[in-house]
């Protein structure tokens, strides 16, 4: 009750015009911790909060459980009839909530295994590895005959026999360490462990180093017994389990490999498979650590370099000798197959041409209880909540789209093809893209986003209850981040007092889920979030309903929290008068990225080759303009509120000014893209965020500039920074249009 | 040839008096990198260098190999007849080099196992662990019937049966983590892994937490297969190997537990065993990881907290439940037994009452090829070198003692009893104590010492050739330390240029070897050094001659280098005109220690309770006085040189001044001790260096002050710092006596 009374008082003061411009800031800072919502008038905040409460009362554990049970009843790999059945389920569920929803189909290149791969030790006698996940009696779905064999998506077919070299994580420094030992993988089969990067990177680096095949296994130190008890006793990966997954060169371009930059629809020309630049040419195969042990233990050659040792109980050797030869045979069936997105639409009121897009993929390597159908479940429960609001008469200011993507596992295919098909419209109308992939595998909230949405995310998490602790999701997130920091960081060495903990950190968007086409191809502000935990069954047959009920979210309370949070963020974006995007944070983040890069450049004697001063100025100008817009946005929202009742010229002027501001905020992210694309990968257009060539899932901020520094290329560094500066100037120019 | 011509020129200039005081510094800095030796006149430097070269030509690989073979032919635990035989061997060898040497006997409390300990799982049927190291066929000594069973020195006898709790490293934070899980060790048997501290600390903490027994095992992640190939394929600990070792409360006092502070000689009263405060009251037993696996794998209870997981191939649990009960029976035979030091003596010329002491222990848990007889071998080869010089007419300025200690493994007994017996004489005459324990287990040089000897150590390592690289030992030491640092630390972020790498770091002396009575009880400047490497057979039956020839030092070149280095340091201390002790470094180090402590104090809100300003002043005054003495020492050595030929009053005055300076330098370290001793452990008197109660081998600098901060005791912190300040003032006072 207390906070509400407080806000009412402010509202009264505000509406009778007693708030001078000078007091705006203090109102804001008082109400920020109270009930006012960023971008809403004070009156609007109150009705929005009431509507949000109605919304958040809808998602429920029982229906979430039922959605997940239905979605995970069978394996539903992209393009299969079981996958189609989930599309129909999602579409029909959303329709029952009173929201129009349609299937949207694409014909794309998808390989399935023709038959299980062969991995065998070739010696005096042949010893074949099982390459199969064991049945776990208490997890009934683990015995399903429809579980797809262990394979890597977009591995070519291949049949090779050669000595094996253990390449650790299979990244460039690993091959350098091997070179120092005099070990070469040329003409050999590499065996790498999963982790530290996207598996497609491992394939690319193996290929670059001349390997003729690649085996990837899950080391027990990464997600097996070294992390905790293994399934079904605990949530971690058991001995026979392996990680499926795509080895597409995602860092080149995602989507259908045959239609880069264009939608896979009738009439669009397709490349030949040989022409696709995002596919590896060597066979790649995942195996379990039970199988890997049989390869690694008999290996000879030098003892592994520092950092190569994993969790199997012997000293790893790098191999490469004739003592151990392996036969690897992968047979794939490459076909053009149909996939099915589901797109649902809640029409906006004043801003029907402004789209707030919620997205989650639906296809899974097996049952996908965590990845991705915990997210699908959250989307359905959020849709149910929206449906309830619609029945109560709600009409959002802006249009909300709910998208259930297909083919994400192969390479973000459903989202990419759709984004490519509607690219022009999306560039014009896209407000934000809100992603949830593996929404729930535990209780620990985490998020990545563009900096303009940091405050929005933090604000929303303050209003969602964390089921386990009863605190807010935000508080639990903060407490955890505090616990993980050493005493020395938490107290000021000069004063002995507690250090003000910075807000919980929100990461940078790299790749590995469906935000990539929206942010990095189109320049639409994006976020990705979810609740994580001890999750060792990723892309295995045990990512099942049973696993979820035993470990991930037995009560389904976090599925409910995910639905509440996702919907709340979407509603704030859809309903806010002034879009809650803060480009001051964005400027500060770019400055931090640049400072970090300059340090690298100095270490490499490259700091003289680029125009650092120009960049610093560009950042400063951007930040100044962003501050101006931010102030103007706050003021104009209040002005709208103050003048609304009169509905006179002042009101119309304020509304017009707010439209200008909103359009500028919308265009700013777009301006950070460059139509020429990044060096060597024109599909990626964003000048601030992209996955690195070698970082895999992780972002490499200021991508071309950083890459040039990595490559120690003075010319590239200069050109890259010039383009970034140009993007910053464009963005500043767009922001300046908010001035009237 | 070049450097020598350069120095000759300088010498000429120097002797004809052309060097003004102003040019002293430049001469010094030029010659420091050339041939001049700190504390020597230029002429003296040349003859010293020539003598050192003669010396260093003597130690040889063949004779080193032969010493080690003889010393390690049989297990020689302190007090056994095989131990006696090694004493006789060392004495007789040294005598053959023309150096007088004698045995020095003490009667001390030493326990041996009465019979092998019992560790068995008590369940439906009893399952007894082997508690025995396997025979390795290619290592002939590993089958010796004289190998002492696995036991921990100074474990009491005991017979207990209880559930087992896995306590990780068995240190206070581990028990705190267990408490958070609701797991109590009271009335239970703790099982800890070796590592991170001295095993006596593990026994003490287990006892404090109410455990009734302690089992300590060697986890494969610490020195087994996770580090590399295991013996006999590689140098690391194999499955059946365990680590013997003392669990004496070394941090209370070392030496014979029954005669703290006094020598164990006839006429000295002894405590009853129950009165000794450095002994644990619970049975302690070491086991192998092969045996530990049989205890750890079936354990129930919570999954281990973060940081508890070791290298065995399953998720560790903390246990503590009735699922697993263990019977531990330790039967010890406690007796007063004889041990034998060997003390050899090279009489000094002008300074026979100034003792430079080289020390190494000789007793071993089994064969002791690395620990300690690589050091014994180096001592014998150094003695052989000294013998050669003596034959050539050398007479060192100061007396050199070569001490072969007994009973170190049980608790630094031989050195402590000797230091206690000759305490007064040592306080008067002790110049420095130079320790080598495990002198060679590989090629990587490392050292710990008081800061006054840092320059001396670095200087000597510059003049010893590293056998493997052909560079100087110093260079190899530096290169290694450089390699282990990340790029970011090695280049200046502002300029991009290489950062001047600070000199290779020399550690602080904690405890765990024979320097402790000299430095921490008596205040004699001490160092400890050696060449380390991949060494997983510490205190096992495989610390054998065969291990050394396969892994540690197959060519014995590092034994030769150790002898050369040790002898060189001793000769420089014995022969220098002005003692090469630099208390400027010491002051800087104390300042660093204090700054670090103040940070901790501030974090704990304790910075107001002590006189930080007084300490800062005391450090400043000490540093200023140290600088003055250092300058005066340099000048006086040159003055002696300049006036020597005239042998007039100026010369006598210079010599007298140098004596004052040397005496002051000698007394400074002594002044840092406090006769009242440290809080709760009066035997430890040094105010700057002591092992911590929980740090084990590692030093806890400014010990009482740091401990008070750990304990959050304001009163203790104030008192401790007051005592440290008083010690600093005493030391400053002593230094000021160098002024004439």
DSSP A525-577: -EEEEEEE-----TTSTT-SHHHIIIII-TT-HHHHHHHHHHHHHHHHHHH-S
| Model pLDDT, residue B647 | 78
CB pairs under 8 A between A and B: 73
The rounded distance, in Å, linking the Cα atoms of A199 and A245 is 8
Q: What is the rounded radius of gyration, in angstroms, for the C-alpha atoms of chain A?
A: 26
CB-based contact, A710 to chain B, within 8 Å: no
Distance of CA B207 to the CA centre of its chain: 27
B434 confidence band (pLDDT: 50, 70, 90): very high
Q: Is B215 helix (H, G, I), strand (E, B) or coil?
A: strand
Which of B220, B314, B607 minimises the CB distance to A496?
B607
Q: B496 and A314: CB-CB below 8 Å?
A: no
Which residues lie closer than 8 Å to A116 by C-beta, 6 or more apart? A131, A132, A149, A150
Band (pLDDT 50/70/90 cuts) for residue A24 is very low
Q: Give the separation between CA B701 and CA B687, rounded to whole angstroms.
A: 8
Rounded to whole angstroms, the Cα distance separating B121 from B118 reads 10
For B598, the closest chain A residue by CA position comes to A493
Give me the pLDDT at residue A502, please: 65
Q: Choose, out of A181, A226, A305, the residue to mutate when testing the contact with B (most B CBs < 10 Å).
A: A226
Domains of chain A, by residue range, sit at 1-36, 46-103+340-464+508-534+541-575, 108-336, 579-736
On whether the CB atoms of residues A619 and A587 are closer than 8 A, the answer is yes
Please, how many CA atoms are within 13 Å of residue A348, restricted to the half-sphere of its CB?
23
Percent residues over pLDDT 90 in chain A: 87
Contacts of residue A224, Cβ cutoff 8 Å, sequence gap at least 6: A218, A230, A236, A237, A238, A239, A289, A311, A536
* DSSP code, position A216: E
Residues in A closer than 8 angstroms to B311, CB to CB, are: 311, 313
Q: How confident is the model at residue B13 (pLDDT cuts 50, 70, 90)?
A: very low
Identify which of A210, A283, A204 has the alpha carbon closest to the alpha carbon of residue A249.
A204
pLDDT at A619: 98
- A108-336 topology per CATH: Glucose Oxidase; domain 1 (3.50.30)
Q: What is the pLDDT of residues B490-510, one digit of tens each?
A: 555 555 455 555 678 899 999
Q: Residue B683: name the closest of B172, B103, B341, B248 by CA.
A: B248
Task: For residues A41-47, give the mean pLDDT.
Answer: 93
- Its ipTM equals 0.87
User: Does the pLDDT at position B151 exceed 50?
Assistant: yes
- Residues of chain A in contact with residue B225, where contact means CB-CB under 8 angstroms, are 313-315
Question: To the nearest whole angstrom, how far is the Cα of A52 from the nearest Cα of chain B?
Answer: 38
Select the residue of A236, A315, A496 nearest B229 (Cβ to Cβ).
A315
Q: Is it the case that residue A23 has pLDDT exceeding 80? A: no
**CB A229 to CB B303 under 8 A?**
yes
Determine the pLDDT at residue A504: 83
Kind and range of the H or E run holding B110: strand B101-122
Q: Does pLDDT of A450 surpass 90?
A: yes
Q: Pick the residue from chain B with its C-alpha nearest to A597.
A: B493
> Quick check: B603 and A491 CB within 8 A?
yes
Whether residue A607 and residue B496 make contact (CB cut-off 8 A), yes or no, is: yes
> A46-103+340-464+508-534+541-575 sits in which CATH class?
alpha beta
pLDDT score at B490: 55
Interface test with A, best of B292, B310, B314, B536 (most A CBs within 10 A): B314
CB A313 within 8 A of CB B311: yes
In whole angstroms, what is the distance from residue A73 CA to residue B64 CA?
Answer: 73
CATH topology for B579-736? Transcription Elongation Factor S-II; Chain A (1.20.930)
Q: A54-78 b/e with 16+ CB inside 10 Å = b?
A: ebbebbbbebbbebbebbbbbbbbb
Looking up tokens 């209870």, which residue turns up?
Answer: B301
CA atoms within 13 A on the CB side of B63: 17
Residue A162: φ, ψ to 5°: -170, 165
Mean pLDDT of chain A: 92
Distance CA B459, CA B37 (A): 8
B238 and B142 in contact (C-beta within 8 Å)? no
Can you say whether residue A309 is alpha, beta or left, with left for phi > 0 and alpha for psi between -120 and 50 degrees? beta
Q: How does pLDDT run across B155-184, given as a tens digit for each residue?
A: 999 999 999 999 999 999 999 999 999 999
Which residues of A are less than 8 Å from B228 in CB distance? 303, 315
User: Cβ atoms within 10 A of the Cβ of B733, count?
Assistant: 16
Q: Out of A496, A601, A607, whose CB is closest to B603?
A: A496
How far is the C-alpha of B79 from the C-alpha of B596, rounded, in Å?
43
Q: Does the beta-carbon distance from A496 to B602 stay under 8 Å?
A: yes
Share of chain B above pLDDT 70, in %: 93
Can you give the pLDDT at residue B502? 65
User: For chain B, first and last CA: distance in Å?
Assistant: 41
Rounded CA-CA distance A483/A501 in Å is 11
Calpha distance A617→B345 (Å, rounded) = 74
Least confident of A639-653, A667-681, B684-698: A639-653
pLDDT of residue B135: 98
> What three-state secondary structure class fits A486?
coil
**Per-residue pLDDT for A25 more than 90?**
no
Residue A602 in contact with partner chain B when CB distance is under 8 A:
yes
For residue A4, what pLDDT band results from cuts at 50, 70 and 90? Answer: very low
Rounded to a whole number of angstroms, the distance from the CA of B224 to the nearest CA of chain A is 9
pLDDT of residue B275: 97
pLDDT digit string (tens) for B371-409? 999 999 999 999 999 999 999 999 999 999 999 999 999
Q: Is B551 on the interface with A (CB under 8 A)?
A: no
Query: What's the fold here for domain B61-107+337-574?
Result: Aminopeptidase (3.40.630)
Banded pLDDT at B35 (limits 50, 70, 90): confident
pLDDT value for B492: 53
What residue has token string 């396969």? B550
- Residue B568 backbone phi and psi in degrees, to 5: -65, -45
Does A19 have pLDDT greater than 70? no
Determine the average pLDDT of the residues in B32-52. 88
CB of B313 less than 8 A from some CB of A = yes
pLDDT of residue A498: 53
Distances (CA, A) of B328 to A511, A547, B159, B247, B331: 55, 40, 6, 17, 10
pLDDT of residue A586: 98
Cα dist. A466→A562, B304, B389 in Å?
10, 25, 79
Strands (E), A124-230: 126-128, 152-153, 158-166, 189-193, 213-217
Average pLDDT over every residue of B405-418: 98
* Chain B: closest CA distance from residue A24 (Å): 38
DSSP string of B133-194? PPP-TTSGGGG-TTSPPS-EETPPPEEEEEEEEE-TT-SHHHHHHHHHTT---TTSEEEEES
What the block records as the tokens of A46 is 């109150």
Tell me which residues of chain B, numbers 463 to 492, contact chain A at a CB-CB cutoff of 8 Å. Answer: 487-488, 491-492
Give the residue from B602, B610, B714 with the most A CB atoms within 10 Å of its CB, the best one to mutate.
B602
Which of 232-251 (B) contact A at CB < 8 A? 234, 236
As given in the structure block, the two tokens for residue B84 are: 């006696």
Confidence bin at A695 (pLDDT 50/70/90): confident
Catalytic site positions of B:
408
**Residue A607 has what pLDDT?**
87
Angle in degrees, CA B464, B467, B470, rounded to 5: 80
Distance from CA of B223 to the nearest CA of A (A): 11
**DSSP secondary structure code for residue B548 in this structure:** I
- The separation between the first and the last C-alpha atoms of chain A, rounded to the nearest angstrom, is 40
The stretch B117-130 carries a mean pLDDT of: 93
- Is residue A299 within 8 angstroms of chain B, CB to CB? no
Which burial class, exposed, middle or buried, applies to A605 when counting CB atoms under 10 A from its CB (0-12, 13-18, 19+)?
Answer: middle
Contact A192, A203 (CB under 8 A): no
- Chain A residues with CB-CB distance to B496 below 8 A: 601-607
In the CATH hierarchy, which fold is given to the domain comprising B113-333?
Glucose Oxidase; domain 1 (3.50.30)
Whole-number pLDDT of residue B682? 97
Contact A493 B599 (CB under 8 A): yes
H or E stretch covering B522: none
Is A313 within 8 Å of B312 when comparing Cβ atoms?
Answer: yes
Tell me chain B's radius of gyration from C-alpha atoms.
26
A627: how many CB neighbours lie within 10 A of its CB? 15
Tell me what pLDDT residue A125 has: 83
Please give, rounded to a whole number of angstroms, the shortest distance from the CA of A606 to a CA of chain B: 8
What are the pLDDT digits (tens) for A53-98? 999 999 999 999 999 999 999 999 999 999 999 999 999 999 999 9
Count of CB atoms within 10 A of residue B128's CB? 12
CB A601 within 8 A of CB A593: no
The answer, for A309 touching chain B at a CB cutoff of 8 Å, is yes
Report how far residue B29's alpha carbon sits from residue A414's, in angstroms, rounded to the nearest whole number.
72
Judged against a pLDDT cut of 80, whether residue B246 lies above it is answered with yes
Q: d(Cα B680, Cα B696) in Å, to the nearest integer?
A: 16
Tens digit of each residue's pLDDT (9 = 90 or more) over A356-401: 999 999 999 999 999 999 999 999 999 999 999 999 999 999 999 9
The average pLDDT across A432-441 equals 98
- Hey, what are A88's tokens? 């129909």
Q: Coil, helix or strand for B395? A: coil
d(CA B627, CA B736): 11
pLDDT of residue A414: 98
All residues of chain A having their beta carbon less than 8 Å from the beta carbon of residue B551 are none
| Cα A73 from Cα A61, distance rounded (Å) | 18
Q: Which residue has the higher pLDDT, B268 or A6?
A: B268
At B259 the pLDDT is: 98
Active site residue A617: no
Q: Which among A239, A315, A491 is the top mutation candidate for probing chain B, defined by the most B β-carbons within 10 Å of its own β-carbon?
A: A315
The token duo for A142 is 């683990």
Strand partners, A109: A336
Residue-level pLDDT at A88: 98
- Min Cα–Cα distance to chain A from B301, Å: 12
Say if CB B572 and CB B460 are below 8 A apart. yes
* Burial (0-12, 13-18, 19+ Cβ within 10 Å), B261: middle
Closest CA to A225 of A314, A295, A155, A312: A312
The answer to whether B705 contacts chain A (CB < 8 Å) is no
Chain A contact present for B302, CB below 8 A: no
| Residue from A408, A625, A655, A669 carrying the catalytic annotation | A408
| Cβ <8 Å between A228 and B315 | yes
Cβ–Cβ of A496/B605 closer than 8 Å? yes
Class of residue A219 by CB neighbours under 10 A (exposed 0-12, middle 13-18, buried 19+): buried
Report pLDDT digits (tens) over A479-505: 998 777 665 555 555 554 555 556 788
Element (H, E) at B212: none
pLDDT at A31 over 60: no
Q: Which residues contact B654 (CB under 8 A, 6 or more apart)?
A: B636, B639, B640, B643
Q: How many angstroms separate the CA of residue B517 from the nearest CA in chain A? A: 34
Which pLDDT tens digit goes with each residue over A127-156?
999 999 999 999 999 999 999 999 999 999
B220 touches chain A (CB under 8 A): yes
Residue A370 neighbours by CB distance under 10 Å: 31
Dist CA B485 CA B496 (whole Å): 16
């Amino acid at each position: 009750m207390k906070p509400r009374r407080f806000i009412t008082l402010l509202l009264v003061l505000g509406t009778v015009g007693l708030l001078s411009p000078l007091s705006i800031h203090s109102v804001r800072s008082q109400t920020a911790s109270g009930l006012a919502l960023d971008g809403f008038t004070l009156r609007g905040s109150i009705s929005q909060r009431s509507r949000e409460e109605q919304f958040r009362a809808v998602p429920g554990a029982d229906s979430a459980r039922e959605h997940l049970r239905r979605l995970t009843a069978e394996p539903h790999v992209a393009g299969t009839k079981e996958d189609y059945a989930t599309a129909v389920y999602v579409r029909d569920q959303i329709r029952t909530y009173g929201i129009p929803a349609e299937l949207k189909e694409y014909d794309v290149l998808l390989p399935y295994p023709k038959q299980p791969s062969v991995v065998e030790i070739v010696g005096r006698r042949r010893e074949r590895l099982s390459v199969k996940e064991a049945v776990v009696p208490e997890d009934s779905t683990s015995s399903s005959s429809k579980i797809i064999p262990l394979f890597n998506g977009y591995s070519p077919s291949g049949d090779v026999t050669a000595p094996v070299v253990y390449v650790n994580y299979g990244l460039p420094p690993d091959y350098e360490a091997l070179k120092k030992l005099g070990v070469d993988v040329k003409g050999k089969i590499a065996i790498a462990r999963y982790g530290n990067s996207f598996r497609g990177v491992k394939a690319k680096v193996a290929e670059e180093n001349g390997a003729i095949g690649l085996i990837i296994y899950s080391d027990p130190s990464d997600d097996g017994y070294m992390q905790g008890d293994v399934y079904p006793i605990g949530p971690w990966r058991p001995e026979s389990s392996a990680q499926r997954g795509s080895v597409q060169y995602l860092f080149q371009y995602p989507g259908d490999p045959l239609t880069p930059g264009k939608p896979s629809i009738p009439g669009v020309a397709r490349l030949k498979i040989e022409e696709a630049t995002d596919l590896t040419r060597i066979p790649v195969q995942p195996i379990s650590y039970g199988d890997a042990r049989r390869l690694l233990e008999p290996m000879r050659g030098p003892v592994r370099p520092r950092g190569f040792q994993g969790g199997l109980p012997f000293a790893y050797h790098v191999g490469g000798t004739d003592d151990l030869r392996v036969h690897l045979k992968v047979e794939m069936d490459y076909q053009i197959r149909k996939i099915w997105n589901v797109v649902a639409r809640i029409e906006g009121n004043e801003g029907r041409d402004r789209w707030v897009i919620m997205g989650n993929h639906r296809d899974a390597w097996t049952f996908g209880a965590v990845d991705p159908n915990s997210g699908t479940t959250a989307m359905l429960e959020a849709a149910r909540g929206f449906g309830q609001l619609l029945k109560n008469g709600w009409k959002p200011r802006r249009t909300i789209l709910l998208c259930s993507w297909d083919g994400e596992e192969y390479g973000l295919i459903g989202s990419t093809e759709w984004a490519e098909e509607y690219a022009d419209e999306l560039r014009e109308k896209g407000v934000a893209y809100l992603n949830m992939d593996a929404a729930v595998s535990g209780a620990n909230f985490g998020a990545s986003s563009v900096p303009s949405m940091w405050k929005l995310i933090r604000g929303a998490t303050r209003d969602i209850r964390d089921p386990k602790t009863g605190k807010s999701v935000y508080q639990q997130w903060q407490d955890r981040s505090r616990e993980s920091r050493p005493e020395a960081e938490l107290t000021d060495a000069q004063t002995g007092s507690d250090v003000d903990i910075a807000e919980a950190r929100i990461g940078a968007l790299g790749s590995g889920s469906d935000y990539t086409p929206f942010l990095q191809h189109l320049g639409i502000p994006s976020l990705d979030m979810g609740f994580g935990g001890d999750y060792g069954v990723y892309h295995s047959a045990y990512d099942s309903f049973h696993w979820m009920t035993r470990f991930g979210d037995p009560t389904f309370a976090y599925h409910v929290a995910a639905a509440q949070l996702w919907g709340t963020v979407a509603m704030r974006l859809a309903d806010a008068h002034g879009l809650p995007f803060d480009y001051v944070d964005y400027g500060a983040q770019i400055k931090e990225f640049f400072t970090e890069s300059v340090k690298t450049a100095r270490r490499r004697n490259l700091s003289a080759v680029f125009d650092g001063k120009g960049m610093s100025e560009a950042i400063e100008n951007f930040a100044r303009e962003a501050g101006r817009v931010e102030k103007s946005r706050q003021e104009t929202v209040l002005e709208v509120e103050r003048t609304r009742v009169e509905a006179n010229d002042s009101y119309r002027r304020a509304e017009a000014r707010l439209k200008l501001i909103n359009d500028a905020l919308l265009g700013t992210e777009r301006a950070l893209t460059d139509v020429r694309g990044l060096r060597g990968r024109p599909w990626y257009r964003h000048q601030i965020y992209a996955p690195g060539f070698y970082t895999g899932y992780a972002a490499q901020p200021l991508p071309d500039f950083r890459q040039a520094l990595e490559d120690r290329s003075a010319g590239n560094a200069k050109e890259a920074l010039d383009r970034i500066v140009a993007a910053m100037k464009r963005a500043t120019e767009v922001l300046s249009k908010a001035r009237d």
